[in-house]
Structure 1
Amino acid sequence: MSTTMRPLSKYFGVELVGFDARRDAGAGAGAELLDLLLRHQLLLLRDQELTPAELVGVGRSMGPIQPFLLSNYRHPEFDEILVTSNEKVNGKPIGVARVGNFWHSDSSYIERPANTTLLHAVKVPPTGGDTLFASMYLALDELSPELRAALEGRVAVHTIRKRYKVTAQDVGQSLREIDDRLRITIPDVTHPVVREHPLTGRPALYISEGYTLSFEGMGWEQSQKMLEELHAHATRESTLYRHHWRVGDILIWDNPSLIHAAMPSDPELPRTMHRLSIASGASGEAR
Structure 2
Amino acid sequence: MKIDNLTPAIGSEIHGINLADADQVNSCADDLRAVLAERQVIFFRDQELTPEAQVRFAKIFGRVEAVSSTFPAHPENPYVELLVSQGTRTGTDIWHADLTWQESPPAGACLYAVDVPETGGDTMWASMTSAFESLAPNMQMYLRDLRAVHNWEAPALTDNLRKRDATGGLYKAAREKYAPLEQPVVLDHPVTGKPVAFVNSLYTTHIRDVTNDESRALISFLSGLAKVPEWQVRFRWRKGSVAVWDNLATQHYAVNDYHPEPRRMHRVAIR
Fold agreement, TM-score > 0.5: yes
Task: Find the counterpart in structure 2 of residue 19 from structure 1.
Answer: 17
Percentage of pairs with the same residue: 28
1:79 partnered with 2:84: no
Q: Could you tell me which of 108, 119, 130 is aligned with 2:111?
A: 119
If the length of structure 2 is used for normalisation, what is the TM-score?
Answer: 0.90
* Residue 97 of structure 1, CA deviation: 7.5
Cα distance change, pair 222–125 in 1 and its aligned pair in 2 (3 A) = same
* Residue 267 of structure 1, CA deviation: 3.0
Q: Distance in 1 between matches of 2:63 and 2:221?
A: 36
Q: Distance in 2 between matches of 1:181 and 1:76?
A: 21
Deviations 1:223-266 (A, max 9, x none): 11111112223321233211111111100000111000111133
Structure 1 stretch displaced more, 224-233 or 119-128: 224-233
Q: Distance in 2 between matches of 1:149 and 1:69?
A: 34
Structure 1 stretch displaced more, 254-263 or 216-225: 216-225
Task: Find the counterpart in structure 1 of residue 166 from structure 2.
Answer: 171
The answer to whether the 8 A contact 2:106-2:269 is kept is: yes
1:132 partnered with 2:124: yes
Task: Find the counterpart in structure 2 of residue 260 from structure 1.
Answer: 252
1:245 partnered with 2:237: yes
If the length of structure 1 is used for normalisation, what is the TM-score?
Answer: 0.85
Cα distance change, pair 234–58 in 1 and its aligned pair in 2 (3 A) = same
Q: Could you tell me which of 217, 222, 229 is aligned with 1:225?
A: 217
Cα distance change, pair 51–99 in 1 and its aligned pair in 2 (3 A) = farther
Structure 1 stretch displaced more, 66-75 or 228-237: 66-75
* Residue 181 of structure 1, CA deviation: 5.7
Structure 1 stretch displaced more, 232-241 or 217-226: 232-241
Cα distance change, pair 219–184 in 1 and its aligned pair in 2 (3 A) = farther
The answer to whether the 8 A contact 1:66-1:114 is kept is: no
SS of the equivalent of 2:158 reads coil
Deviations 1:113-171 (A, max 9, x none): 11111100111011111111111111110012222121012111111013433224653
Deviations 1:186-242 (A, max 9, x none): 111111111111223221111111111111101222211111112223321233211
Matching residue's letter, 1:272: R
The answer to whether the 8 A contact 1:26-1:58 is kept is: yes
Q: Distance in 1 between matches of 2:165 and 2:213?
A: 31
* Count of matched residue pairs: 266
The answer to whether the 8 A contact 2:95-2:253 is kept is: yes
Any gaps of 5 or more consecutive residues in structure 2? none
SS of the equivalent of 1:122 reads strand
The answer to whether the 8 A contact 1:84-1:97 is kept is: no
Any gaps of 5 or more consecutive residues in structure 1? 88-95, 280-287
Across the aligned residues of Structure 1 and Structure 2, the Cα RMSD in angstroms comes to 2.4
Task: Find the counterpart in structure 1 of residue 2 from structure 2.
Answer: 4
